[in-house]
């Protein structure tokens, strides 16, 4: 396995952003390995998988999945708090992986109050242990990483054919034509847009729970609009 290869979940802009974050951590914090793990799902249902790395990494580790709360990475994701281990060989360090010792830091990858995944950096046995200052530096790099992922996701959506059509007003035209052809047509158009919306968000790297959250936001907006409409109607009857 060549150092720095992209993980199998390559999807363009997002993968490029993750690779850049891994490269920055690799350059700023000299270490034996950097891994970035993203979560699919949220809370106790989340599963972490490696999305980018620098350094040597066995294929079984690349393909491994970690549940929220299990292992150090799962615990850091679940708690949202970083963990620095000075000596993974020490009793009850809880940081040995496949017999590895040395020192490591695992920190959350945050974005706007939620945790996208974790970033791990590791040094092998005989290398200097990570310091508190280096832990702080990794926290700063993780903040940069979260924003990079968000930028990549938004850029993916904006550049997609779906978004371009919407921006150009083609969907508005289609909707107007559907209305002129009968009451059933708008519902068909709405279903078409919903399916396209789901495919675009899935392809951009959003997890199922995040897509459900976006759909919930649409429902909230609709509910608020209906409430306002009802209030206007009530005022009109008074």
The residue ranges of DSSP E strands in 32-102, in sequence order, are 33-40, 47-54, 65-67, 83-85
Q: How confident is the model at residue 62 (pLDDT cuts 50, 70, 90)?
A: confident
- The boundaries of every CATH 3.30.450.40 domain in the chain are 13-155
Query: Quick one: residue 182, left, alpha or beta (phi over 0 = left, psi -120 to 50 = alpha)?
Result: left
Structure tokens at 45: 């249902």
Question: pLDDT higher for 35 or 2?
Answer: 35
Write the pLDDT tens digit of every residue in 104-160.
999 999 987 889 999 999 999 999 999 999 999 999 999 999 988 888 877 776 666
pLDDT above 70 coverage of the chain, percent: 64
Q: What is the pLDDT of residue 6?
A: 39
Q: Which of 83, 71, 149, 138 is nearest to 116 (CA)?
A: 149
Q: How confident is the model at residue 222 (pLDDT cuts 50, 70, 90)?
A: low
Q: What is the CATH number of domain 13-155?
A: 3.30.450.40
Q: How confident is the model at residue 2 (pLDDT cuts 50, 70, 90)?
A: very low
Tell me the average pLDDT of the chain: 76
Q: How far apart are CA 111 and CA 116, in angstroms?
A: 7
Q: How confident is the model at residue 4 (pLDDT cuts 50, 70, 90)?
A: very low
Q: What is the pLDDT of residue 92?
A: 59
Q: What angle do CA 199, 4, 71 make, to 5 degrees?
A: 75
């Amino acid at each position: 396995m060549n150092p720095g290869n992209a993980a199998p979940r390559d999807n363009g802009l997002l993968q490029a952003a993750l690779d850049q974050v891994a490269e920055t951590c690799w350059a700023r914090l000299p270490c034996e390995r950097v891994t970035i793990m993203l979560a699919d799902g949220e809370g106790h249902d989340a599963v972490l998988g490696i999305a980018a790395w620098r350094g040597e990494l066995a294929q079984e580790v690349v393909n491994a999945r970690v549940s929220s709360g299990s292992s150090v990475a799962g615990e850091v994701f679940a708690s949202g708090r970083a963990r620095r281990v000075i000596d993974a060989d020490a009793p009850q360090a809880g940081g040995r992986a496949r017999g590895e010792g040395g020192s490591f830091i695992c920190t959350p990858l945050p974005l706007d109050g939620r945790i996208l995944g974790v970033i791990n950096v590791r040094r092998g046995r005989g290398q200097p242990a990570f310091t508190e200052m280096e832990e702080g530096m990794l926290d700063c790099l993780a903040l940069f990483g979260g924003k990079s992922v968000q930028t990549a996701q938004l850029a993916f959506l904006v550049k997609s054919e779906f978004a371009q059509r919407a921006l150009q007003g083609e969907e508005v035209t289609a909707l107007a034509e559907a209305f002129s052809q009968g009451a059933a047509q708008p519902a068909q158009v709405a279903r078409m847009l919903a399916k396209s919306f789901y495919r675009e968000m899935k392809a951009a790297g959003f997890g199922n729970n995040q897509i459900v959250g976006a759909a919930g936001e649409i429902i909230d907006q609709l509910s608020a609009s209906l409430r306002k409409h009802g209030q206007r109607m009530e005022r009109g009857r008074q």
